């Protein structure tokens, strides 16, 4: 079993599979919970990263100050006002298959569905773990050099 994990591609495959599992857990949790992190930067727009409704949401807001340090919020879906992500607040410039980009007054919203990251990571990890490494076809040079015998 130790030989199985010797090539670098198997180690990367295991790491990728673990990341895919973490994203899958976030995906399932986002169905019942709203979780977000705000990252305020001085004299810059505030950035909010949210896991909500099977999607990763990046919200950039120019107005308002959230505090001098990152904040984490977690609530059940029933306690979240989901109107903020709907039409009156944001004009959707592009929305397709779970992806979206919306613009509001002094803010923008980018939505990336969990499946678009989790499924490719799982497939890549499976390919790295289950594919057989290629055999080296280098041939050892056995010819003698001109100075070897004299």
Structural domain boundaries of the chain?
1-30+117-134, 33-113
Higher-confidence residue: 15 or 34?
15
* Count of beta carbons in the 10 Å neighbourhood of residue 90: 20
On whether the CB atoms of residues 46 and 66 are closer than 8 A, the answer is yes
Give yes or no for residue 42 having a pLDDT over 80: no
pLDDT, mean of residues 51-75: 72
The pairing of strands 107-113 and 55-61 is: antiparallel
Higher-confidence residue: 59 or 118?
118
Give yes or no for residue 67 having a pLDDT over 70: no
Model-wide pTM > 0.75: no
Give yes or no for residue 75 having a pLDDT over 70: no
CA atoms within 13 A on the CB side of 114: 19
> By C-alpha distance, which of 56, 58, 34 is closest to 47?
58
Helix (H) or strand (E) holding 24: helix 8-29
Higher-confidence residue: 128 or 105?
128
Q: Calculate the average pLDDT of the chain.
A: 77
Q: 87-100: per-residue pLDDT in tens?
A: 556 777 877 888 88
Q: 12-32: per-residue pLDDT in tens?
A: 999 999 999 999 999 998 888
Distance (Å, whole) CA 118 – CA 22: 9
Give yes or no for residue 63 having a pLDDT over 80: no
Higher-confidence residue: 44 or 109?
109
């Amino acid at each position: 079993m130790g030989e199985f994990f010797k090539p670098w591609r198997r180690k990367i495959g295991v790491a990728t599979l673990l990341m895919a599992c973490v994203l899958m857990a976030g995906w399932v949790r986002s169905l019942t919970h709203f979780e977000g992190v705000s990252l305020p930067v001085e004299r810059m727009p505030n950035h909010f990263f949210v896991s909500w409704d099977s999607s990763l949401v990046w919200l950039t807001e120019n107005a308002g100050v959230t505090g001098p340090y990152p904040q984490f919020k977690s609530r059940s879906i029933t306690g979240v006002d989901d109107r903020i992500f709907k039409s009156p607040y944001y004009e959707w410039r592009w929305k397709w298959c779970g992806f979206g980009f919306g613009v509001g007054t002094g803010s923008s919203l980018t939505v990336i569905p969990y499946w678009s990251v989790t499924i490719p990571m799982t497939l890549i990890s499976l390919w790295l773990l289950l594919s057989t490494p290629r055999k080296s076809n280098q041939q050892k040079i056995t010819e003698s050099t001109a100075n070897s015998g004299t």
